[in-house]
Amino acid sequence: MWRKWLLIIGILLTSQLSIAGNPEDTIPTSNRYIHQLETEVRQAYIFPSTSFLEGENNKSKALRSAFSAHLRYAFSFPPLSYIDRIYGSPYQGIGVAYYNFGDRQEIGNPIAVYLLQGGRLADFSSRLSLNYEWNFGISAGWHPYDVNSNPNNTVIGSKVNAYLNTSAYLNFTLSPQFDLTSGISLTHFSNGNTDFPNAGLNTIGIKMGLTYNFKKNKAIQLNNTPPVLISDFPRHFSYDLIFFGSWRRKGIVYNDIPLASPYTYEVFGFNFTSFYNIRYRFRAGISLDGVYDSSANIYTEEYNVTADGHDPSFTFYKPPLKKQLSLGLSARAEYIMPYFSINMGLGTNIIHGGGDLRGLYQIVALKIETSRNSFIHIGYNLHDFKEPNYLMIGFGYRFHNKYPFIYHSF
């Protein structure tokens, strides 16, 4: 399992983030980046989502508090540059964090490695602004559930888990070199339904950080040219074609008894989305979503309990292929920043085999540019806003793309 997650993060971290396009349809930026190094601490409240977190653990104590320490590198663009003005002073980079949940024996003290991106939402003064940020990566070093050695931990089922975070914070400029940040942070850990259990661990808390900007004054001076008028965005339709695959675990309820299948199931699919590109930061459209989920509508017809009441025996069966295929339509909205796009969707299957494939599905995905028109796609699918479905790991290509591409001279 850990090898699969390492492959995912390897794809994320080794993808090309800037490849020059044609001069006619590119947005130039400068090689005079502002490089940043930040230390950050977060103190958070753990949502009591399971009995383990409420006190059914070896310590017989509710786990309510989480602490993490972060070290991050990022780069931003000089003030008055095209990118800075279009996208609201964006920055992007990578971070590493150490987490402590107060129970090292049963849950572990994981290390997270993640991509990050943020930007400005509003200015209150020349020194104070309201900013946002998201983090996406993986975390390792968990002590997962084990029926024999760690039976209480019903929260985490795998040694490596996905890490997601979003925050809103105030940024106060102390000097050209130093910024002080403080705000609210939401964090989610889970394995994307690739293993059991997958209750997930969620926190909310406050964060404080200190950022050092390398040679910020020099970068500003080298790029201190009069602002150039930004051309109107070329509104247009574009089309994204994505192919994805993943694996998942599945459980069912039989005679009011929840049963976890011992098998791992494959998922394959595609999305074809017609987007109307409205502005530099936003596009919206309709997507045709086809999926083969080999766990859909699995069932069991046998359930025998031994004389002592333990070790139930049951067999899981797959239905005919037509009950595991679906074709859906979803409304999509996409927030666009340099290198990354965040995609959200809400849809329903219009052709399907019934059962598990009925109802609404929700999609949250990150797109990472690898060239002008190609990108890596990392997403997650939910069912009826509450039930985890599967990961969506794949590649995509954008047709009829008139969106200006960012290029650099290194």
Domain ranges within the chain, ordered by starting residue: 32-222, 236-407
Higher pLDDT pick, 355 / 220 = 355
- The model's pTM is 0.85
How many helices and strands, by DSSP H and E, does the chain display?
A: 4, 22
Question: How many angstroms separate the CA atoms of 18 and 339, rounded?
Answer: 8
- Cβ-based neighbours of 327, under 8 Å, separated by 6 or more: 288, 289, 290, 291, 349, 350, 351, 352
pLDDT in tens, 8-35: 445 444 444 433 334 345 555 555 788 9
CA angle 103, 108, 110 (to 5 degrees): 130
Q: What is the pLDDT of residue 1?
A: 52
Number of alpha carbons in the 13 Å side-chain half-sphere of residue 335: 12
Token pair recorded at residue 302: 């046998």
Q: Do domains 32-222 and 236-407 have the same CATH topology?
A: yes
| Top-confidence residue, 26 or 50 | 50
- DSSP-derived 3-state class of residue 355: helix
Options 1.10.3720.10, 2.40.440.10, 2.40.30.10, 2.40.160.20; CATH for 236-407 is 2.40.160.20
CATH class for the region spanning 32-222: mainly beta
Q: Give the separation between CA 86 and CA 138, rounded to whole angstroms.
A: 30
Q: Label residue 259 by pLDDT band (50, 70, 90).
A: confident
